[in-house]
Structure 1
Amino acid sequence: MGIQKLNSELINKVIQQDRSAQFQLFELTKSMLYSICYRVLANEDEANDVLQDAYVEVFQNIRKLEHPQALISWMKTITIRKAIKESKKQILFAPIEDHNPATTENFDAWFDAEVLDQAIQSLPDGARTVFVLVAIEGYSHQESAKLLGISESTSKSQLHYAKTLLKSRITNLLQA
């Protein structure tokens, strides 16, 4: 199953609150939306909680969706907003830690998705969130700024900061 199977018939059934269609939509989109949650929150339990909240909101408000063809974008927006909101709560309580990705002798082994994801997760919250939205999810700086409640220039500087940190960490790993 994939997003390609998301057709207008399925969308219409979901809008009509058909439970099997809702389950089908969940199965088709859960990996994509979980990935967004995890990248923003860097915590599996919190990502699962936010994902559940996002689906509740989607299914409660799907009848309000004006353009059914924009369902995926709408779901991603709901998910991102919920993840960002949760992330802001975590900033108040997050301990300050020195994050250093593990080094490895084999460059090719280091560049697997899991390790790269860990490097992204080790970024400071603001930089990580902007990096996920702009570099991974494809949002513009204007969209990112609006979602996060920051200026467009702050979004740009956070992305630059995230890239600088990632470049530095990768360079250090290559020299190790």
Structure 2
Amino acid sequence: MEKERIDLRLIELVIAQDRKAQFQLFELTKRMVYSLAFRILNDEDIAHDVLQDTFVKVFQEIKNLKHPEALVSWMKTITARKAVEKAKRQLVFEKLSSAEDQSEDHFEAWFDGELLDQAIRSLPAGSRTVFMLVEVEGYPHQEVGRMLGISESTSKSQLNYAKKLLKTRIKTLLQA
């Protein structure tokens, strides 16, 4: 995405319902929106639905955006919430023992983005969603809990579980 191309004038035109400006904003941000949705959902079709739903909401609500410089963050928030909304029916949070939470293994190895992406996509849906919202998008556990309808401690334990699984899966993939 080219942030420098999303300027105040473009946002003003989008607010004014200028179709060309809306298309330009879509073109500049569609990869970011789709990528976030896909990483949370791990499903191309549903991620495309979220892409569409996100832009419908953006174009309907942009007139209420008080700080235009926060446009990208606002769009990411809409995307994350739409993806979680779509995924809620499918999310399963695995029961974790307290012993699993205490694992402290120092993992140091080189790997590329494709390997990491593959490992993240292989996580169980609930753990993957928490991982993406907390570690990638920066949401606090309290807000993730509210979004997903789980407790803050469940969010924390699911994140720890996701990290443990990622370590194991990356090690396995590196040995393959």
The residue aligned with 2:85 is: 85
Residues 156 and 10 of structure 1: CA distance in aligned 2, closer, same or farther (over 3 Å)? same
Alignment of 1:126-137 (within 5 A): 126-137=126-137
Query: Per-residue deviation at 1:71?
Result: 1.4
Amino acid at match of 2:124: P
SS at match of 1:89: coil
Say whether 1:140 aligns with 2:140: yes
Q: TM-score, normalised by structure 1?
A: 0.82
The residue aligned with 1:101 is: none
C-alpha contact (below 8 Å) 2:37/2:80 kept by paired residues: yes
SS at match of 1:90: coil
Alpha-carbon distance between aligned partners in 2 of 1:11 and 1:124, rounded to the nearest angstrom: 38
C-alpha contact (below 8 Å) 2:141/2:156 kept by paired residues: yes
Alpha-carbon distance between aligned partners in 2 of 1:34 and 1:147, rounded to the nearest angstrom: 19
Unmatched runs of 5 consecutive residues or more in structure 2? 93-108
The residue aligned with 1:38 is: 38
Alpha-carbon distance between aligned partners in 2 of 1:84 and 1:153, rounded to the nearest angstrom: 18
Query: Per-residue deviation at 1:167?
Result: 0.7
Alpha-carbon distance between aligned partners in 1 of 2:91 and 2:140, rounded to the nearest angstrom: 24
Query: Per-residue deviation at 1:76?
Result: 0.9
Alpha-carbon distance between aligned partners in 2 of 1:88 and 1:146, rounded to the nearest angstrom: 12
Query: Per-residue deviation at 1:3?
Result: 1.6
- Pairwise CA RMSD of aligned residues? 1.9
Amino acid at match of 1:62: I
Alpha-carbon distance between aligned partners in 2 of 1:112 and 1:134, rounded to the nearest angstrom: 21
Amino acid at match of 2:45: D
Amino acid at match of 1:115: L
Alpha-carbon distance between aligned partners in 2 of 1:68 and 1:145, rounded to the nearest angstrom: 28
SS at match of 2:150: coil
Question: Share of identical aligned residues, percent?
Answer: 63
Moved more, 156-165 or 115-124: 115-124
- Deviation sequence 1:70-112 (CA, Å, 0-9, x none): 21121111111111111113348xxxxxxxxxxxxxx86xx33
Alpha-carbon distance between aligned partners in 1 of 2:23 and 2:51, rounded to the nearest angstrom: 14
The number of residues matched between the two structures is: 160
Alpha-carbon distance between aligned partners in 2 of 1:148 and 1:118, rounded to the nearest angstrom: 23
- Deviation sequence 1:25-70 (CA, Å, 0-9, x none): 1111111111100001111111111111111111112112222222
Say whether 1:68 aligns with 2:48: no
Alpha-carbon distance between aligned partners in 2 of 1:163 and 1:54, rounded to the nearest angstrom: 29
Alpha-carbon distance between aligned partners in 2 of 1:173 and 1:115, rounded to the nearest angstrom: 8
SS at match of 1:37: helix
The residue aligned with 1:27 is: 27
Alpha-carbon distance between aligned partners in 2 of 1:173 and 1:10, rounded to the nearest angstrom: 44
